[in-house]
Amino acid sequence: MDQAAEESDKQIALLTNKAANRGRAEAKGHIVAELLTSLGRHVDHVLPDDIQGTYRAVREAVSEDRHIVAVGGDGFIHHVVQGCAETSATLGIIPAGTGNDFAFGLDLPQDLDNAVRSAVSPSQRVDILKFEKPTGQKCYGATIATAGFSATVNIRADAMAWPRGPSRYTLATLIELLRLQRYELQMVVDGVEVDGQCLMVAIANTRAFGGGMQIAPDASPTAGHADIVVIRDTSAFNLLRMLPKTFKGGHIGHPAVEVRTGRVIQLELLCTDRAKSGNLRSDGENVGSLPQTVTVVPGGLRVAGISPPLTVAGEAREHTE
């Protein structure tokens, strides 16, 4: 039996984040359930009340060898991935959040009809990031892990009720520029030490975060390594000038921007004025305090509907509110 036939025989575990996109994802989830049923699929639709409920639903689906389809944004996908990573489970993605950067990085359809068909199409494996603390705790990330300025922007954007859509990240960036913090970088990339003062670090499995800001335009989730972008110390004015360029990757080549690749990254970032460690965020979610070791897991996640080759680096996407 070929892969398409095998997947079509599986019951669909449809998971919807009913809080995503100010509650709009719940309605989308019910439409997805109807569309999947019209395609002849058997659907069990679950709308978890919280993160723990999401974890339970994913564990159950994986243990029963169901095809998982997740309706939500990057944060919800992040939590679903925790149970799918390094397993045989197949994940289909219906973008329904504010940023949808993982779907963008995989070149998955954004319109609903095509997204549903894609979510139950044949799958292929893509890379993921594994985060490990000195205590042995671990978790996973699908898109970009970041610390420093970009993490503070993410935290502020999460707390903002207005505006809706990707422009929320732009406004949060402008606010955080007014209180620009410097950091002392201590990083080892595949055994090579990288240090000095910086504003932020991004370890990229896919090319964009913050609703389409292509901080690592050449990053590919099938490369077997991450693209590591370090923005060194520069003025708030220079950083502001870089901002619009990131949506097409045009900041690459700026004297303050360093890019390298690696598979195993040991990362610590210290606030220079408070001498305390920063936190690491991935897929817009907090994955804990630093230091941590970030490892690229080649083929660590099976995703439905990916049609290689991926989009040419630097191609912008349409912004919708």
**Residue 179: strand, helix, or coil:** coil
* End-of-domain residue from the set 102, 121, 140: 121
Assess whether pLDDT exceeds 60 at residue 63.
yes
313 within domain boundaries: no
Task: Assign 3-class secondary structure to 271-304.
Answer: ECCCCCECEEEECCEEEEECCEEEEEEEEEEEEE
Per-residue pLDDT band for 157 (boundaries 50, 70, 90) equals confident
- Is 171 found in the same domain as 88? no
Assess whether pLDDT exceeds 90 at residue 165.
no
CB 76 within 8 A of CB 180: no
CATH of the domain at 54: 3.40.50.10330
Omega of the bond leading into 244 within 30 degrees of 0 (cis): no
Q: Tell me the residue range of the domain where 32 lies.
A: 3-121
CATH of the domain at 260: 2.60.200.40
Q: Which two tokens stand for residue 247?
A: 């949506």
Q: Which residues neighbour 118 within 8 Å (Cβ) at sequence distance 6 or greater?
A: 92, 108, 109, 304, 305
- Is 149 found in the same domain as 96? no
Residue 143: name the closest of 83, 108, 100 by CA: 100
Per-residue pLDDT band for 311 (boundaries 50, 70, 90) equals very low
CB 194 within 8 A of CB 165: no
* End-of-domain residue from the set 92, 121, 150: 121
The pLDDT value recorded for residue 321 is 33
| Number of domains observed in the structure of the chain | 2
Strand partners of residue 229:
202, 259
316 within domain boundaries: no
The number of residues in the chain equals: 321
The pLDDT value recorded for residue 312 is 39
- pTM value? 0.89
CB atoms within 10 A of CB 21: 20
The pLDDT value recorded for residue 319 is 37
Helix, strand, coil shares of the chain, percent, nearest 5, are 30, 35, 35
Per-residue pLDDT band for 100 (boundaries 50, 70, 90) equals very high
Strand (E) or helix (H) holding 109? none
- Is 294 found in the same domain as 209? yes
Which segment of 23-32, 50-59, 65-74 scores lowest on mean pLDDT? 23-32
The 10s digit of each residue's pLDDT in 223-279 is 999 999 999 999 999 988 988 899 899 999 999 999 999 999 999 999 866 655 678
Which segment of 31-45, 81-95, 298-312 scores lowest on mean pLDDT? 298-312
- Is 216 found in the same domain as 103? no
Compare 316 and 232 and report the one with higher pLDDT. Answer: 232
Assess whether pLDDT exceeds 90 at residue 169.
no
- Is 175 found in the same domain as 101? no
Which segment of 94-98, 108-112, 189-193, 282-286 scores lowest on mean pLDDT? 94-98
